[in-house]
Structure 1
Amino acid sequence: MPEVHDDGARRRDHRLPDVRPLDPVHSLKAKLGLLVVASVTVAVLITWIGLRNELGPSRTFPLAIIVSLVLTQLLARGMTSPLREMTGAAQVMADGDYSVRVRSTSRDEVGQLALAFNTMARDLEASDRVRRDLIANVSHELRTPVAALQAQLENLVDGVTEPTPAALELSLEQTERLTRLVTYLLDLSRVEAGASALVLGEFSVGDFLEECAEAVSMVDAAKGLTYVVDVTPEDLSLEADVERLRQVVTNLLQNAIRHSPFGGTVRLDAYPVDDSVVIEVGDEGPGIAPEDRDRVFERFARGTTGARPHVGSSGGTGIGLAIVRWAVDLHGGHVEVADTPSGATMRVTLPAVARPAPGVSTETPADQ
């Protein structure tokens, strides 16, 4: 990362090197004390040497003052260099460049301020990168269904295409895709806003997964997929926020549908492990390369290698799996890509009895 220095200060002090002999000192007060001691000591030493050599006060005192001032300026410049660099960096950041960093070598309060400034600059750079990625991804994802829907409707209006059920179904598919994207964006806004309240209740895992499978099968029937729900034991129950968990399973199912072959099978399995409940959503698609399995849960993640070359693309937004991880983290659980010989299996592990993450507020359905 580039370092920024104040050019005006550099021009003013171009004859003085930027030395920092006091950097190891941990206190700014101690540095100021050492600065005073050093300047006084030099002045006294020069005066003593001058008097010993019979130079006289008229020549010794001005020389002592000049040397003391030069030494003070040299040491003070090194002490205040981070402050001047931060001023220059702030001006550069005001123009939109968040890649600048200041040199932080001292251990006193000024050095700690420089470290905090660099941390802030890194956070701002990351936020700006996420904002740019969001705009680019949303623009891309919106453009595709909007363009397809516009072309289809124009053909219907111009009489090029007859308003047959098949033509209307294509328009409906693009509209549903737009709806999913808007839903993802609303969920993402909740993530950014830190919305983390959970409405906890106990429910049957088997009935819940059957409902989720039935809902997505009605919407995504074009591929002719088969949904298999296997819950062991049949009366397995879970205490969680059912709507948040529905969001998790639906996103995982949509991801599985997107990558499943026509006529394939999507599996939903659930079983207990110790004091947790594991829910798995598996498909018969090309799978996810091992090097991409950690990245797919990051926002806007798109794999570049492996069996599934563009994770989050192919009609995806790169947001759904990030929302899955966020919702699972709220419950104090974790989500991962299971190691399976074929296809891709997303594994969600949740506490059987709710143990939300620290800082997450909870309520019961009766509180609403």
Structure 2
Amino acid sequence: MRSPRGGFGARLALSQLLTVAVGASTLLVVALGLAPGLFRAHVVDAVGPISPELATHLDMAFARATLVSLAVATTAATIAALGIGAFVTRRAVRPVRELARAASAIAQGDFTARVPETGFGSEIATLNHAFNQMAREIAGTERTRAEMLRDLAHELRTPLTSVRGYHEAIADGVLPADDATFARVDGELSRIERLVEDLDTVSRAEERRLDLRLRPVPVADLISSAADSAALSQQHTGVTVRLDLANDGSQVWGDPDRLHEALVNLIANAVQHTPIGGTVTLSSRTTDSGVRIEVADTGAGIAPEHLSRIFERFYRVDSGRSRDTGGSGIGLTITRALIRAHGGHIRAQSAGLGHGTTFVISLPRH
């Protein structure tokens, strides 16, 4: 949409004409103010004293010559400025128009719109590069949003279908309305509740809206407590959980309950993907920048193409896993959100399938 007060190109051309006009006016004032006196002094030095009538005639002749010369020079300068200005304006306005078209396309839902990462000067090139980077991130966010909504619909469909099936079976008299049937229905409803709670936790953590009760937390106590909790829930898996803790009394500033939740999620994930007889090792080390906590397993490992996506919502390395056997696909997302809420970061590393996985947490030291 064109501005009613003129576009950028018109304003740029006008500014160039104004520059020529101001320069010509300044030149005229200075020339008429100084040049006649300097010229008269030069004549006197050359021919000696002159009469007042001759001096007046010389001043008028000089002023007329100056005005004609300035008029011709100003006209020539204006024509040259218009020509050069038209060229410069086209070069300057073109990338702005391309940027506006691309922004309009993205606003209308075309996230593939891009602009050339070259322009009229380094500033425009930097702006175009930043715009394209923003467009790529918006496209990725939109793609993730669409995938999340699709996966969320899939995750909710299974328990809702089960509840609907139980309801119809009870209504048709196929199943008895007894405690066992209601227990099954309650189990499906609990799955939906857990999924909704998990999504709420992730959203609040990513938006920094969690009610964190921060205090100094000894790292050794934090890891030992998480290992004990995991041992109770994973005692029949045949996987050994080992501790390798630095005995340096290091502490982190955080909410012990939330950090405990994050570590338990990691341990449960590691145990789930480690075969019977395998080992999950929890270790901690103090670094120059903070505290490093590792959860390493001797399990299935992760292929390189999956490492960058395993923290995404509902993403499963094994797409064939169901919610019953593979979880909701949101546990690692919650863990990352909780760690980030504490000012830390987490990453996964693996040498490949069959070589185990190590999750590395870095937290600022208290």
Quote the offset at 1:139 in angstroms. 1.5
Q: 1:94 aligns with which of 89, 107, 130?
A: 107
The reply to whether residue 131 of structure 1 matches residue 145 of structure 2 is yes
Please say if residues 266 and 281 of structure 1, whose CA atoms lie closer than 8 Å, have aligned partners that are also in contact.
Answer: no
Q: How does 1:151-170 map to 2 (within 5 A)?
A: 151-163=165-177, 167-170=181-184
Query: Corresponding residue for 1:21?
Result: none
CA distance change for structure 1 residues 355 and 154 in 2, over 3 Å: closer, same or farther?
farther
CA distance change for structure 1 residues 138 and 156 in 2, over 3 Å: closer, same or farther?
same
Partner letter of residue 85 of structure 1?
E
Please say if residues 241 and 279 of structure 2, whose CA atoms lie closer than 8 Å, have aligned partners that are also in contact.
Answer: yes
Partner letter of residue 311 of structure 2?
F
CA distance change for structure 1 residues 68 and 199 in 2, over 3 Å: closer, same or farther?
closer
Partner letter of residue 194 of structure 1?
R
Query: Corresponding residue for 1:180?
Result: 194
Please say if residues 265 and 332 of structure 2, whose CA atoms lie closer than 8 Å, have aligned partners that are also in contact.
Answer: yes
The reply to whether residue 209 of structure 1 matches residue 220 of structure 2 is no
CA distance change for structure 1 residues 340 and 232 in 2, over 3 Å: closer, same or farther?
farther
Query: Corresponding residue for 2:60?
Result: none
- Structure 1: distance between partners of 2:353 and 2:104: 54
Please say if residues 334 and 349 of structure 1, whose CA atoms lie closer than 8 Å, have aligned partners that are also in contact.
Answer: yes
- State the Cα deviation string for residues 211-261 of structure 1 (Å, max 9, x = none): 3443x46xxx9xx63564433569997634322222213333553576577
Quote the offset at 1:346 in angstroms. 4.4
The reply to whether residue 355 of structure 1 matches residue 344 of structure 2 is no
Quote the offset at 1:341 in angstroms. 8.4
- Structure 2: distance between partners of 1:101 and 1:333: 32
Give 1 or 2: higher helix fraction: 2
- Structure 2: distance between partners of 1:162 and 1:123: 53
Query: Corresponding residue for 1:245?
Result: 259
Q: 1:142 aligns with which of 153, 156, 173?
A: 156
TM-score under structure 2 length normalisation: 0.61
CA distance change for structure 1 residues 101 and 339 in 2, over 3 Å: closer, same or farther?
closer
Query: Corresponding residue for 1:323?
Result: 334
CA distance change for structure 1 residues 310 and 282 in 2, over 3 Å: closer, same or farther?
farther
Please say if residues 159 and 192 of structure 2, whose CA atoms lie closer than 8 Å, have aligned partners that are also in contact.
Answer: yes
- Structure 1: distance between partners of 2:278 and 2:348: 17
Please say if residues 266 and 283 of structure 1, whose CA atoms lie closer than 8 Å, have aligned partners that are also in contact.
Answer: yes
Partner letter of residue 146 of structure 2?
R
CA distance change for structure 1 residues 64 and 347 in 2, over 3 Å: closer, same or farther?
closer
Quote the offset at 1:76 in angstroms. 1.3
Quote the offset at 1:100 in angstroms. 1.1
Q: How does 1:1-368 map to 2 (within 5 A)?
A: 69=82, 71-103=84-116, 104-107=118-121, 109-163=123-177, 167-195=181-209, 199-202=214-217, 204=221, 205-214=223-232, 216=233, 225-226=237-238, 228-232=240-244, 239-240=251-252, 241-256=255-270, 264=276, 268-273=280-285, 276=291, 278-280=293-295, 282=297, 286-303=300-317, 308=318, 315-329=326-340, 330=342, 332=344, 334-339=346-351, 342=354, 344-350=356-362, 354-355=364-365
Structure 1 unpaired stretches of 5+? 1-5, 9-28, 41-60, 357-368
Q: RMSD between aligned alpha carbons?
A: 4.5
Give 3-state SS (helix, strand or coil) of 2:310's partner.
helix
Please say if residues 337 and 345 of structure 1, whose CA atoms lie closer than 8 Å, have aligned partners that are also in contact.
Answer: yes
Please say if residues 281 and 295 of structure 2, whose CA atoms lie closer than 8 Å, have aligned partners that are also in contact.
Answer: yes
Give 3-state SS (helix, strand or coil) of 2:111's partner.
coil
- Structure 1: distance between partners of 2:192 and 2:296: 24
Q: How many pairs were matched up?
A: 292
Please say if residues 302 and 352 of structure 2, whose CA atoms lie closer than 8 Å, have aligned partners that are also in contact.
Answer: no
Give 3-state SS (helix, strand or coil) of 1:129's partner.
helix
- State the Cα deviation string for residues 172-193 of structure 1 (Å, max 9, x = none): 4423322332122112212431
- Structure 2: distance between partners of 1:72 and 1:184: 60
Please say if residues 298 and 356 of structure 2, whose CA atoms lie closer than 8 Å, have aligned partners that are also in contact.
Answer: yes
Bigger-Rg structure (1/2): 2
Partner letter of residue 227 of structure 2?
L
- Structure 2: distance between partners of 1:164 and 1:259: 37
TM-score under structure 1 length normalisation: 0.61
Partner letter of residue 270 of structure 1?
L
Please say if residues 236 and 271 of structure 1, whose CA atoms lie closer than 8 Å, have aligned partners that are also in contact.
Answer: no
CA distance change for structure 1 residues 113 and 191 in 2, over 3 Å: closer, same or farther?
same
Give 3-state SS (helix, strand or coil) of 1:328's partner.
helix
Partner letter of residue 355 of structure 1?
R
- Structure 2: distance between partners of 1:235 and 1:165: 52
Please say if residues 246 and 283 of structure 2, whose CA atoms lie closer than 8 Å, have aligned partners that are also in contact.
Answer: no
Partner letter of residue 347 of structure 1?
F
Quote the offset at 1:331 in angstroms. 5.3
- Structure 2: distance between partners of 1:258 and 1:144: 22
